[in-house]
Each structure stands twice: as C-alpha cells, then as structure tokens.
Structure 1
C-alpha cells in the first residue's frame, strides 16, 4: 500500500516536471512568482475575492505573446499539474501559483534528486 501511495506521488511530480518542460510554461510560473512586478495591476480582484496574486489570462497572454488558445492550453496544463490555481471572478479568469504544491516539489527535488 505504501509503495502504491509513493507511486501516485511520483506520478504527480512527473506531471509537474512535464508541465515545466516547456520554456513558456516555465516562464509563466516564474513570472507569477512576482505578479506585481511582472503584470499590470489586477483591478478586478478585490480582497474579498480571496485570490490575491492572481493574474488575468489576458495579461498573461499579452506578456508571453501567444494566442488565446495556446495560452489557455498552457495555463490549463499548469493547473492540472497542481502548479497553478484558477478562479473566475466576474467575466475574468485568474491564475496564481499554488505555493504549497511548489514547496512540495522543492522538497521532492531536495530529498529525491
């Protein structure tokens, strides 16, 4: 049972590595580390929305210079891997880093690689 649990964890980390294996996706995660430095102010997010640090898909798209569908595909893959969190606020979709999952990835690398 313990081995099976470890295999599921390893598979999750493999998904994260796959998501980060593309330069643009890696850049997105890096830019979202300091959203206030890398993106314009997110005027549609308020403290009550409980999604501080989130950046609108349009702003991410503008920054990376790719089309809407490719940007959405990249963000979706990063979210599915657990590296990003997503929230719809009004008509906008926002993404931010999932810091807890990134810390788990850091520990995995430090311990196992």
Structure 2
C-alpha cells in the first residue's frame, strides 16, 4: 500500500478520535480478550455481537463505530453467514505508526 496520503491520515485520526473506537481497536489486537468463537479471531476476526457486548453499546452504535473504523481502513470486515467479523488491518496501522514516527 505504501505511505498514507493526507486524506487517509485525516480519516484514521478522526476514527481514532472517539475513545470507544480507540478502545475497540486495542481490544482487537488481542482476539483472546473476547469469548471463544467457531473460528479463531486471527482468522476471521471478532463477531460484532462480542464487540457490542464488550463496549456496552447498542448494536446500531457498534455497527456505526465499526463502519467508521472500516472506512478509515483500520479494520477489515469478513461476513460469515449473517454475522460481521472484524479484525485489525495491521498494514494500515503500521503505516499510520510510521507516519506518526516520522512527524507526519
């Protein structure tokens, strides 16, 4: 993917500007911090219902949070049946970290 452009940086920082979204991204770093699922979290991600329960928000709020993180390319969504599973997009997160380290 390469370096993040200014629009991507702004989108990522806006997505991380809400404490719960920032917390969710941290939780997703360790899939074991959620209840066991049929598939390992590192393979398919964490089901939205588990994210919702941990964040103690409504389903629609959890969906909005994840949509914002997905638009910023910070998470990847995988549909399994009727359920959405989310995992971190480590490539984008590494590029964001590199941009921050270089003084943006």
TM-score under structure 2 normalisation?
A: 0.90
Structure 2 counterpart of 1:15, from 11, 14, 19: 11
Question: 1:55, 1:96 within 8 Å by CA — same for their partners in 2?
Answer: yes
- Paired residues, number: 101
The structure, 1 or 2, with the larger RCO (C-alpha pairs under 8 Å, 6+ apart) is 2
Whether contact under 8 Å (1:35, 1:53) holds in the other structure is no
Pairing 1:71–2:62 present: yes
Correspondence 1:19-30 to 2 at 5 A: 19-30=15-26
Alignment of 1:1-113 (within 5 A): 9-36=5-32, 38-43=33-38, 45=39, 52=43, 54-113=45-104
The structure 1 segments of at least 4 consecutive aligned residues displaced by more than 4 Å after TM superposition are: none
User: Whose Rg is larger?
Assistant: 1
Give the CA deviation at 1:53.
5.5
Structure 2 unpaired stretches of 5+: none
- Structure 1: gaps spanning 5 or more residues: 1-5
The answer to whether the 8 Å contact 1:28/1:60 transfers is yes
TM-score (norm 1): 0.83
